[in-house]
Amino acid sequence: MSADGIVGEFLALKSETDADLLAMQCGDFYEFFAEDAEFVGDELDLKVSEKSSHGSTYPMAGVPVDDLTPYLKALVERGYRVAVADQYETEDGHAREITRVVTPGTLLETTDPAAQFLATITRVDGRYGLALADVTTGEFLVTTATAESDVVAECHRFDPVEVVPGPTVDADLLDQIREGTDATVTDHDDSAFAPGRAERTLREQFGEAALDSVGLDDRAGVAAAGALLTYVEETGVGVLDAMTRLRAYDTDDHLNLDATTQRNLELTETMHGGSDGSLLGTIDHTVTSAGRRRLREWLTRPSRNRAVIDRRLDSVAAFTEAALARDRVREILDDAYDLERLAARATSGSADASDLLAVRETLALLPALAEAIEDSRLADSPLADIVADPDREAAASLRAELDEALAEDPPGTVTEGGLIRRGYDAELDDLLDRYESAQEWLDNLAGREKERTGITHLQVDRNKTDGYYIQVGKSETGAVPDDYREIKTLKNSRRYTTEELDDREREVLRLEEARGELEYDLFTELRERVAAHADLLQAVGRTLATVDALASLATHAASQDWCRPAVVEPGPLVVEAGRHPVVETTTDFVPNDVDLREDRGFLLVTGPNMSGKSTYMRQAALIVLLAQAGSFVPARSATVGVVDGIYTRVGALDELAGGRSTFMVEMSELSNILHSATEDSLVVLDEVGRGTATYDGISIAWATTEYIHNEIGCKCLFATHYHELTALADHLPRVENVHVAVAGDGDDEDITFLRTIEDGPTDRSYGVHVADLAGVPSPVVDRSRDVLDRLREDRAIEARGAESGGETKQAVFDLSSGGFREGSEAEPTESDGGELDPATESVLDELEGTSVAETSPVDLMARVREWQERLEEGEK
Ligand code: ADP
């Protein structure tokens, strides 16, 4: 074929696919041409040469056929989708066709042990459907949601590598998903999302009965799940058979953790990136990658279901009490391979002999594991049910079959021969017998010939060009018999062959080939039988992963002296001597109590900067999260009322690089929380309103406290440096003050932070004091004190109690005196000098009428700015 033809064919195939790049097989190489060649040349440092045709030249870059995988993997992990066109023989030569499109979400060759989710999202009848699958393990999930934010939060939890949106999904939603993940967004054939077609696809995959049991009556879920199957099928990855079950789950089964909270609590990654120092990084003692995936799943998706939580806690408790059995279990698991992934490899036909051996060895662990549990103190725990779950008989018989079939130490490639054990297949045994006897004849040939001819320097050998030959030293060539036919002369010797040797050689080659083919066929059959047991392998894999994750939780609990939380529903959060699970591993941690209950569900936490407020609040949130994940918790004792979600706004995360100001981010996070939290949630606020001028800041913090207290009524921890807010506790019944204890006189230079939390407000604001401690020159510190006093001029804010149910509490906080006044309206009082000027009055009216929850942050900012201007005007 001419060069033009090849490049032309490449460009034609490229136009058939929506993949970013095309690798086309040309004999022993996969080639990239034209722009694609330049691109991979840059990305992968591949040598780019020139292919000329008809006076034009095209860039060309290629990789040997057997080396494609690592290049594919590198491209796909960078987010590109690569089509692969294979060459096949036809009657008149050969042709090429695209056989696979490798995409981030369908990359089977990954070596990263973390889960690799592909997501499809669609919207039908106003509901979102979200399907998620990990093709490397066959895991397949689907859920539906009404709120966009739920879809975003779910995506951030699963952290998919590729998202395929349906035609009804708007760009804004995708942008939000991209903010918290590195997902590649792939546009795909919209018709796959049509509910009718999607339903047919699901029926074909799972059958009628299976579908009914999933109860997918939600068309959005059906559309997303069906489209996902179509996409996986169309990429040609060949793992559909490993997707043995579809699990429909309800987002309400799990604790709501919005994207910000997942980041703030550093569940799987720290703020600086990387898993070291994250919660998962700290408590993970799993010994298998599947176990780590399971633990990650529990931490990012803690349960809301007390039965589920208690069952996990029972297992962890059993493991903590039976240290010897736990060690034994972990030792067994240490030898386990990733069965779920092996099942997917068997299904796609990419598993080699060592993969099947890995299946065999891992299946062999199941009886040992069951014994370690059933014969120990763990026998009465739910762990016994967990190991009884997979079909152990089926596992044993599959293992026996693999034992019988596979050689003890098979070669790395499936075409090399030596894969299959003797005694497994009569035909193969016969071939091997004949091969061995031919080999024996060859081995003994030199001896026989030496004897027959009397030649001493005679040897029999084999090489690629000459095949088998008899080599005779130069000095003795005169003695060679007539039946020797010379084939080559070397410096010191000559090579010969004989008719019989030629015959034997042909026989050996024939037998070698036949053996290779037969072994390969036997191996593929075996691999298919393993693939047919994908669901069994997945069940065993899940069991091993679950036991590993539970043993890991127990290991950490035992080493850090954690306690079993009493999980109640609904109920308070009462923690005695609690610690922060990560900080306690690196510092001498001072334990603290948390007491959030009916009559004190809202704690205002005050104390100087760096005294430990945010650590205290995160610690409370993490204790709830760990308990609902089924883990013991860092405390002497803990009672944890199940919450439906944890919402946090912590620290000033600088997102200026993202084009949004810090204050803007702060306000939009606040707005999300106020919209999403319910009475059963836990809200953690670390400073609100800090990113703006004091008076706007206080106003927003103030209104937020009232709104959470009066309207939402959830458990809340709110750290603030606005010392003024502490007075709210006297007027809002569920608000209680706590503060971080400080030793020493505030004016003394050597005050120390005791890190203990005590009831009551902090007695003063320490901002200026901290400036002093930090060595800010004393004229500046002194002047700050003056300015602070001046700022506390006659400004007043009204506190509003709940309007429904009971008496309306009204109070006016006077910034000048730092005290509260009771009153039904924000009436002028004596300290105001009798009367408010009209500008102030109108600003206060508008402030009162502004709903923080219903006003966008931008409007809020604009309004506050406008109020400030009007107030300044009014003062003149
Ligand atoms: P704040 O929110 O008040 O500014 P942080 O919570 O950030 O303070 O804590 C400041 C420092 O004190 C951190 O380095 C933290 O590790 C440490 N710290 C906080 N709480 C404790 C504690 N209970 N025991 C020991 N060290 C603590």
Instruction: Indicate the pLDDT class of residue 295, thresholds 50, 70 and 90.
Output: very high
Pick the more confident residue, 774 or 293.
293
Q: Count other C-beta atoms under 10 Å from residue 354's C-beta.
A: 16
Site to substitute for ligand 1 among 575, 582, 610, 615, most atoms within 8 A of C-beta: 615
What's the fold here for domain 426-520? Answer: MutS, DNA mismatch repair protein; Chain A, domain 3 (1.10.1420)
- Cα-Cα-Cα-Cα torsion 810, 814, 815, 819, nearest 10 degrees, comes to -90
Q: Whose CA is nearest to atom 4 of ligand 1?
A: 610
Span 156-173, mean pLDDT? 92
757 Cα–ligand 1 center, Å: 12
Pick the more confident residue, 183 or 665.
183
Instruction: Indicate the pLDDT class of residue 830, thresholds 50, 70 and 90.
Output: very low
- Contact (Cβ atoms closer than 8 angstroms) between residue 580 and residue 622: yes
How far apart CA 875 and CA 638 sit, in angstroms, is 53
Lowest mean pLDDT, pick from 311-315, 327-331, 655-659: 655-659
Q: Kindly state if the Cβ of 191 falls inside 6 Å of ligand 1.
A: no
- What pLDDT, on a 0 to 100 scale, did the predictor assign at position 653? 46
Write the DSSP string, 819-864: EEEE-SS----GGGTS---HHHHHHHHHHHH--TTTS-HHHHHHHH
- What pLDDT, on a 0 to 100 scale, did the predictor assign at position 717? 96
Pick the more confident residue, 5 or 569.
569
Is residue 96's pLDDT more than 70?
yes
How far apart CA 336 and CA 548 sit, in angstroms, is 10
Atom of ligand 1 nearest to the CA of 719: 2
Q: Whose CA is nearest to atom 17 of ligand 1?
A: 612
How far apart CA 342 and CA 360 sit, in angstroms, is 11
pLDDT digits (tens, 9 = 90+) for 393-444: 999 999 999 999 988 877 766 666 678 888 899 999 999 999 889 889 988 9
DSSP assigned state of 600: B
pLDDT digits (tens, 9 = 90+) for 146-155: 888 889 989 9
Each domain of the chain, given as residue ranges in start order, spans 3-102, 117-253, 301-402+528-560, 426-520, 566-762, 836-876
Q: Kindly state if the Cβ of 615 falls inside 6 Å of ligand 1.
A: yes
Is residue 175's pLDDT more than 60?
yes
Pick the more confident residue, 209 or 345.
345
Same fold, 117-253 and 426-520: no
Instruction: Indicate the pLDDT class of residue 876, thresholds 50, 70 and 90.
Output: low
Six-digit token string for 850: 């502004």
How close are the terminal C-alpha atoms of the chain, in Å? 89
- The CATH code that applies to domain 117-253 is 3.30.420.110
Q: Kindly state if the Cβ of 583 falls inside 6 Å of ligand 1.
A: yes
Q: Whose CA is nearest to atom 25 of ligand 1?
A: 589
Q: Kindly state if the Cβ of 613 falls inside 6 Å of ligand 1.
A: yes
- Contact (Cβ atoms closer than 8 angstroms) between residue 23 and residue 30: yes
Pick the more confident residue, 842 or 630.
630
244 Cα–ligand 1 center, Å: 48
Amino acid 619 reads Q
CATH of 566-762, one of 2.40.50.140, 3.40.50.1820, 3.30.420.40, 3.40.50.300: 3.40.50.300
**610 three-class SS:** coil
Q: Whose CA is nearest to atom 26 of ligand 1?
A: 589
Q: Kindly state if the Cβ of 734 falls inside 6 Å of ligand 1.
A: no
Q: Kindly state if the Cβ of 606 falls inside 6 Å of ligand 1.
A: no
Segment (H or E) for 717: strand 715-719
Q: Whose CA is nearest to atom 16 of ligand 1?
A: 583
- What pLDDT, on a 0 to 100 scale, did the predictor assign at position 834? 47
Instruction: Indicate the pLDDT class of residue 827, thresholds 50, 70 and 90.
Output: very low
Question: Quick one: what percent of the chain has pLDDT higher than 90?
Answer: 45
Q: Which of 613, 610, 606 is nearest to 592 (CA)?
A: 613
Q: Kindly state if the Cβ of 766 falls inside 6 Å of ligand 1.
A: no
Lowest mean pLDDT, pick from 214-228, 583-597, 751-765: 751-765
600 DSSP β-pair partners: 597
- What pLDDT, on a 0 to 100 scale, did the predictor assign at position 658? 47
CATH of 3-102, one of 3.40.630.10, 3.30.300.20, 3.30.70.20, 3.40.1170.10: 3.40.1170.10
Helix axes 534-560, 499-532, angle to 10 degrees: 70
User: Which residue's entry shows tokens 């596979």?
Assistant: 406
- What pLDDT, on a 0 to 100 scale, did the predictor assign at position 478? 85
Six-digit token string for 798: 């009204």
- What pLDDT, on a 0 to 100 scale, did the predictor assign at position 823? 44
pLDDT digits (tens, 9 = 90+) for 577-625: 999 999 999 999 999 999 999 889 999 998 877 788 889 999 999 999 9
How far apart CA 489 and CA 334 sit, in angstroms, is 59
Atom of ligand 1 nearest to the CA of 617: 6
- Residues within the annotated binding site? 607-614
Instruction: Indicate the pLDDT class of residue 387, thresholds 50, 70 and 90.
Output: very high
Q: Kindly state if the Cβ of 816 falls inside 6 Å of ligand 1.
A: no
Q: Kindly state if the Cβ of 479 falls inside 6 Å of ligand 1.
A: no
Lowest mean pLDDT, pick from 383-397, 501-515, 552-566: 501-515
Atom of ligand 1 nearest to the CA of 607: 3
Q: Kindly state if the Cβ of 376 falls inside 6 Å of ligand 1.
A: no
- What pLDDT, on a 0 to 100 scale, did the predictor assign at position 745? 54
- What pLDDT, on a 0 to 100 scale, did the predictor assign at position 416? 63
Q: Kindly state if the Cβ of 614 falls inside 6 Å of ligand 1.
A: yes
- What pLDDT, on a 0 to 100 scale, did the predictor assign at position 69? 87
Q: Count other C-beta atoms under 10 Å from residue 133's C-beta.
A: 28
| Residues 632, 636, 640, 644, CA torsion sign | negative
pLDDT digits (tens, 9 = 90+) for 706-736: 899 999 999 999 998 787 788 888 889 999 9
Whole-number average pLDDT of the chain: 85
- Contact (Cβ atoms closer than 8 angstroms) between residue 684 and residue 617: yes
Lowest mean pLDDT, pick from 109-113, 449-453, 545-549: 109-113
607 Cα–ligand 1 center, Å: 11
Pick the more confident residue, 745 or 585.
585
Question: Quick one: what percent of the chain has pLDDT higher than 70?
Answer: 88
Atom of ligand 1 nearest to the CA of 583: 16
How far apart CA 501 and CA 341 sit, in angstroms, is 48
847 Cα–ligand 1 center, Å: 35
Q: Kindly state if the Cβ of 397 falls inside 6 Å of ligand 1.
A: no
Q: Kindly state if the Cβ of 34 falls inside 6 Å of ligand 1.
A: no
- Contact (Cβ atoms closer than 8 angstroms) between residue 595 and residue 576: no
Amino acid 439 reads Q
Write the DSSP string, 45-112: ----EEEEETTEEEEEEEEEGGGHHHHHHHHHHTT--EEEEEEEEETTEEEEEEEEEE-GGG-TT---
Is residue 744's pLDDT more than 70?
no
Span 25-34, mean pLDDT? 92
Q: Whose CA is nearest to atom 15 of ligand 1?
A: 612
How far apart CA 776 and CA 357 sit, in angstroms, is 68
638 Cα–ligand 1 center, Å: 21
Which residues lie below 8 Å from residue 404, measured CB to CB, with a gap of 6+?
421, 423, 424
613 Cα–ligand 1 center, Å: 7
- Contact (Cβ atoms closer than 8 angstroms) between residue 285 and residue 556: yes
Is residue 700's pLDDT more than 60?
yes
156 Cα–ligand 1 center, Å: 28
Q: Kindly state if the Cβ of 652 falls inside 6 Å of ligand 1.
A: no
Q: Kindly state if the Cβ of 65 falls inside 6 Å of ligand 1.
A: no
Helix ranges, 634-763 (H): 662-676, 694-707
Is residue 558's pLDDT more than 50?
yes
Q: Kindly state if the Cβ of 611 falls inside 6 Å of ligand 1.
A: yes
Span 758-765, mean pLDDT? 72
667 Cα–ligand 1 center, Å: 25
What's the fold here for domain 301-402+528-560? Answer: MutS, DNA mismatch repair protein; Chain A, domain 3 (1.10.1420)
